[in-house]
Structure 1
């Protein structure tokens, strides 16, 4: 009987170690998948605050909460099942779809660069009319539709990182990435949106330090938003370019990947800053690829629009 109990305890210990190892694998895969999607995440955080512009302060957090809930539904109820079905029945499609998403990132990022240099769209969307509740519902609906595209890119990137893992691991990792990214993005968005209110509150306090910090927040938030927009655009271009480089290598077109590796290796030889320089060189090459591909798509889209008689 004791020997049987000892054997049972040994089995329990072995199962526990296996479970712990599996959790470590899941945690590592989740972190890697999330970091790969960082470009889309930063852009999402930079874009979302515009959806609460024009609303009263008391409606800002409820609107962000509704968008966050819609984002979570997009990921868990639509994109997660679609990603698992794709992985189970057509895994060969993961890389092409990922490259398609990468090309879209390049296009969107390059389009923002073109707009910053040459001016915005010639034709803006017509203003939405109606009462406050209708306007809020329309804004939330539009934000959730936009989030579906960004979330699809995030899920495709995450799926590519765990494509060789068992289906259960894929499901857990994708679910964790979905929840973590949604909470992270919209938590940061909520903080950004309310930061000016926090600044005003501090600026009205008695202490000189509080007033100084408050004024600094009020003045600094517009600058932070511009910096976030720039970082988001840059991240989209280099992440999209990197996805295309790795995808081409998967299909046997290894020239761009070899050039990127050569630049990174050469930069790594720099004393003291080798690691940072190596990453920067690889990201810069990916950004060049992203700008070339994005520029080609922007030109093509502009040409098609002109042929149809619209505004480029």
Structure 2
């Protein structure tokens, strides 16, 4: 009897160690996958604050909460099942799907630059009206944000899936599902938690300025003055992140099946290695920077072509809008 109990406990111990190892494997894979999607995550974080710009401060966090729920729903209900089905039955379609999303990111980045240079961008915030806040439709704000999030979330999840597969971290359905769920939850909470902190930072600063502590008051004034600069920096970083990530996705996708055209990727990779080998201790960082700049240039070229089609050429919808006015 005691021997059977000992054997049972030993079996339980083995199962517990296997479960712990599985959790460690999932966590490690999720961490690697999340790192691969870092560029899109930066873009997602940079884009979202604009949706609550100018709104009643009391409504900022409730709206961000609704966007967070919508983002989780996008990933868990729609995107993860779809890409797992594609991976099971049409694995070759993942790379073209990623390239389509990458092209969209390039377009978004190039369009923002074009609007800035041409002066065709929006002149006022979503909630601005003759200097006063007007009543806005929160449902429309949330719907617009969740729609944009869907595209970025799809990119994040496909990049994560490909990272796990390409690095040989695991390929079973349940393992991939577990990794993607972890990535979805961690990234969503991380992104929108950061966004919530960013949009409320000025309120925190204002509160600190009323503190009895001179140090707290200085910190509060610094936060109030610094937040506009931070938001401006985030918007610029977001644009370059879109061009970098979109361009890199296209660069890699051209070399993979089903397109399988590697000359451009090989040229960039050769340049990256050459810079890394020639710059000693800084080689790794400068090599990465070389690849990033090349990817950004490619993203800018692809984005400019799409912007020309959509806005500049006679058959683009931008020209139709101009004609209508």
Residues 281 and 63 of structure 1: is their aligned pair in 2 closer, same or farther, counting only changes over 3 Å?
same
1:267 CA displacement:
2.1
Moved more, 288-297 or 219-228: 288-297
Within the candidate set 258, 262, 266, 2:270 is matched to 262
Alignment correspondent of 2:322 = 311
Alignment correspondent of 1:202 = 208
After superposition, the C-alpha distances for 1:252-280 in whole angstroms (9 at most, x for unaligned) are: 21112212222221222313312211111
- Structure 1 position 288 matched with structure 2 position 290: no
- Structure 1 position 273 matched with structure 2 position 279: no
1:123 CA displacement:
9.6
1:88-107 to 2 correspondences below 5 Å = 88-107=88-107
- Structure 1 position 233 matched with structure 2 position 239: yes
Mapped contact 2:55–2:127 kept (Cα < 8 A) = no
Give the structure-2-normalised TM-score. Answer: 0.86
Alignment correspondent of 2:194 = 188
Mapped contact 2:54–2:126 kept (Cα < 8 A) = no
User: Runs of 5+ in structure 2 lacking a partner?
Assistant: none
Alignment correspondent of 1:145 = 147
1:4 CA displacement:
5.5
Mapped contact 1:102–1:239 kept (Cα < 8 A) = yes
- Structure 1 position 224 matched with structure 2 position 230: yes
User: Runs of 5+ in structure 1 lacking a partner?
Assistant: none
Instruction: Give, in whole Å, the separation in 2 of the partners of 1:94 and 1:301.
Output: 26
Mapped contact 1:128–1:135 kept (Cα < 8 A) = no
Instruction: Give, in whole Å, the separation in 1 of the partners of 2:149 and 2:68.
Output: 9
Instruction: Give, in whole Å, the separation in 2 of the partners of 1:81 and 1:128.
Output: 39
Residues 306 and 91 of structure 1: is their aligned pair in 2 closer, same or farther, counting only changes over 3 Å?
closer
Mapped contact 1:237–1:291 kept (Cα < 8 A) = yes
Residues 311 and 170 of structure 1: is their aligned pair in 2 closer, same or farther, counting only changes over 3 Å?
farther
Mapped contact 1:45–1:189 kept (Cα < 8 A) = yes
Give the structure-1-normalised TM-score. Answer: 0.89
